[in-house]
Amino acid sequence: MNLEADFLIAVGEINENAKDIETLKAEAVSLIDLTLLNENASSEALDALMKKANLYHVAAICVLPQHVKAMTELTGVKLATVVNFPTGNHSLAETLSETNQLLSNYPIQEIDYVFPYQNYLQGREQEALTHCQQVYTLCEQQKITLKVILETSAFPTLESIYDVSCKLIDNGCNFIKTSTGKTKQGATPSATFAILKAIEASDIHCGLKVSGGIKQPAQAFTYMCLAEHVLKSNVNKAWFRIGASSLLDELVNPPAH
């Protein structure tokens, strides 16, 4: 398998003009996990985020655990938070305890969990995979969607991203997510392609969430078209998400002249 070459072929085959721009914009809005992961976020900013999520009917809203309690009036929008975030270095006991507490106290429907990628890349693969599997089991028992954040920029090759994605899908997860958005590089089309090829190769259903640096509509459209091209299925929020903070404004506000 030569994922670099396959990626370049796929890029050449994608027709981003197959849908008109307004259709793409409307689809993109419905796929957004509207995100605010700033420890210093004010109550006003959190309230504005919640109102915006409700107004535009995004897929989900994603905030830090300490801000979940401010999300009191979501209508038809999933509530998500993060655990083992952002480094992926919390112990299994800490991560399970944090997750359990959050699920017990708040109406959370989705967890964005950072895979212990540093341990994995340092040779402690099984330990990292077991950590993830335990969190998935806890979420599955409570019918919570688990999105596993890879931090793709930490992986040396597309093949290594493909390999870990295959293992995570077999291990158990509902979505694989590219990035925390807290490192220098977030999502890239090539890393996303590697995850998509792993999803394509598996008999187990798994979704994809792209995140980290997706600020412009054109970027979102590229990922949407790439996902549809590889998996031969129209994107929808059941299996495809875009994690973003400012993208929504770019999609719904007319460009300034």
What span, in angstroms and rounded, lies between the C-alpha atoms of 206 and 202?
Answer: 9
Closest CA to 110 of 74, 83, 129, 75: 83
Give CB contacts under 8 A, 24+ apart, made by 44-48. Answer: 46/70, 46/71
Known catalytic residue at 20: no
Residue 17 pLDDT: 79
What span, in angstroms and rounded, lies between the C-alpha atoms of 85 and 116?
Answer: 10
What span, in angstroms and rounded, lies between the C-alpha atoms of 59 and 76?
Answer: 8
Domains of the chain: 3-245 (3.20.20.70)
What span, in angstroms and rounded, lies between the C-alpha atoms of 171 and 175?
Answer: 12
| DSSP strand pairing (78-83 vs 110-114) | parallel
Length, in residues, of the chain: 257
Summarize the confidence of residues 5-10 as an average pLDDT: 96
Is 256 a residue whose pLDDT tops 80?
no
Which of these is catalytic: 33, 112, 197, 237?
112
Which of these is catalytic: 33, 78, 147, 177?
177
Known catalytic residue at 209: yes
Residue 255 pLDDT: 72
Residue 18 pLDDT: 81
Known catalytic residue at 47: no
- Report the percent of the chain where pLDDT is more than 70: 99
pLDDT tens sequence across 132-191: 999 999 999 999 999 999 999 999 999 999 999 999 999 999 999 999 999 999 999 999
pLDDT tens sequence across 175-233: 999 999 999 999 999 999 999 999 999 999 999 999 999 999 999 999 999 999 999 99
Residue 206 pLDDT: 98
Residue 257 pLDDT: 56
What 3-state DSSP class applies to 45?
Answer: helix
pLDDT tens sequence across 49-101: 999 999 999 999 999 999 999 999 999 999 999 999 999 999 999 999 999 99
